[in-house]
Amino acid sequence: MSNVFGHGDRGVTLEDFRALPSGAFIFMPCREPWVARAVDIAIGPQKVLDKQGKPKRDRNGKIITMSASAWLMKHQRVEQMAWVPGEPALIRDRLLVEGGWINRSDVTMLNLYQPPRIELGDAAEAGPWLEHVHRIYPDDATQILRWLAHRRQQPQDKINFNLVLGGGHGIGKDTLLEPARYAVGPWNFHDVIPSQLLGRFNNFAKSVILRVNEAHDQGDAERVNRFNLYERIKNLSVTPPYTLRIDEKYIREYYVFNCMGIVITTNHKTDGIYLDPDDRRHYVAWSDCRKEDFSEDYWTSLHQWYQTGGFEHVPWRSGYQSVKTGARCPIDLSVAAISQLRALRLTGVTGSSTISNTVSTPKAPYLLEHGSKRLINLRNG
C-alpha cells in the first residue's frame, strides 16, 4: 500500500478512517484524531451485512444498521499507531515494542508519517536558490546542501549531527530553508522556540527537519537557558534512543522513530547556543552578511521564483549527493574544522568563553580555545 492515503479532493468517506483501541479515530488524509460522535455524524449509519454480503433485517423486515464508529471498530481497526518514515500508511503483521519490531500475523499498525507530495522539476533551473545559499554561507554551502539533500532522500535515517545557521537578522536564513520545507513535506518540517523544546509535549519529534528558531540565552536560570537547551538538544540529536515516546494532547502516548534532523538558527554570536568543549554534534556556519547587503528587489525576485516553480527545481534528487552513513557518526571537529572550512565553535561555560564582538570571522578555520578568547588557527597549527 502506498504511503499516500486518501489523497484527493473528495469529501469524507468511511474508508478515510481507522479506529484505535483507545476509541479514537484517525482521519487518514491528514492523520488527525476524531471522536466517535463526529465520525457518526459525518458518515451516518452503516448496514449490517450477512455472510453473503446482503443486508440483515429484523423481524419486521427493517434493515439493521450500526453506527459508523462501531463499524470501524469492528472492520477497520488498527492495533497500534506510530510515526515511521519510509513505511506504508498501514504496516501489516508487525508491531513496535520498546524500540524494536516484532512480527505478529493479522495485526496492523497505523503509520502517521506522510511523504512529501511535491513533484521535482528541472535541477538545472535551481540557480536562484543555490546562489542564495552560497551568498550567505560561501564556505559552508556544500555541507549545508548535502545535509538538506539527505533529509529529502533518506528521511528514515538519522544524521547524528545538527546544523547551526547563524548570522545577522534579515539575511535570509529562513528563506534558505523554505525549499527544504516543501521537499520533505510541510507536515514533516516543524518549528519550535527553545521554551517549547523544553516543555512537556513533544509532538515536534515527528519531524524530518526540526527548526529551533532564534536560539539564545533567555536568562531563565531555572528553565530556558542555553545550558538546559544544549542538554535537551543533545539528547534528541543522536541514536540511540532509536525511538521516542510522543506525549500529545488528547491521544495516548505512542512511538516515533528518532530520525529528525535539527537545524538551529540564531542571530546571536555571543549569547547564542552553548556547546560543550568536547561537543561533536553540531556543524556551525556563521554568515558575515548584513541585512543592508540585500535589496528589496532581491527578496521579491527570489520569492517570486519560489512561487512559480522554484521549489520543484531544487536539485534534491541528483544535484547534490546527500550525506552518507558517515554522517551518522559524530563529527571529528579537529578534522572538520580543516576539511569543512569554518566549523566555528561557540564554546565555554561562562560568558567569557564566547566569540567576542570585536573579533571578525576568520578566513582560515579557527576554534575558540575553551576558557579564553584566544583563537587557535587549526590550519597552521
pLDDT-based confidence at 367, cuts 50/70/90? very low
For the residues 129-142, what does the mean pLDDT come to?
96
Between 10 and 301, residue with greater pLDDT? 301
Residue 40, pLDDT above cutoff 90: yes
All 3 cell numbers of residue 294? 540585500
* Residues whose CB falls within 8 Å of the CB of residue 241, separated by 6 or more in sequence, listed in order: 99, 258
pLDDT of residue 381: 33
Amino acid (one-letter) located at 254: Y
For the residues 97-104, what does the mean pLDDT come to?
89
151 phi and psi, to 5 degrees?
A: -65, -35
Between 331 and 131, residue with greater pLDDT? 131
- Domain residue ranges of the chain, discontinuous segments joined by +: 14-111, 123-377
CATH code, 123-377: 3.40.50
pLDDT of residue 357: 28
Residue 23, pLDDT above cutoff 70: yes
On the 0-12 / 13-18 / 19+ scale of CB atoms within 10 A, 165 is: buried
Between 47 and 358, residue with greater pLDDT? 47
- Tens digits of residue pLDDT in 234-277: 889 988 889 999 998 778 889 999 999 999 999 887 766 788 88
Report the percentage of the chain scoring pLDDT > 90.
60
Residue 100, pLDDT above cutoff 80: yes
Residue 59, pLDDT above cutoff 50: yes
* Span between the terminal Cα atoms of the chain, in Å: 56
* Residues whose CB falls within 8 Å of the CB of residue 100, separated by 6 or more in sequence, listed in order: none
Report the percentage of the chain scoring pLDDT > 70.
77
Q: Is the pTM of this model over 0.85?
A: no
The C-alpha angle 28, 209, 333, rounded to 5 degrees, equals 155
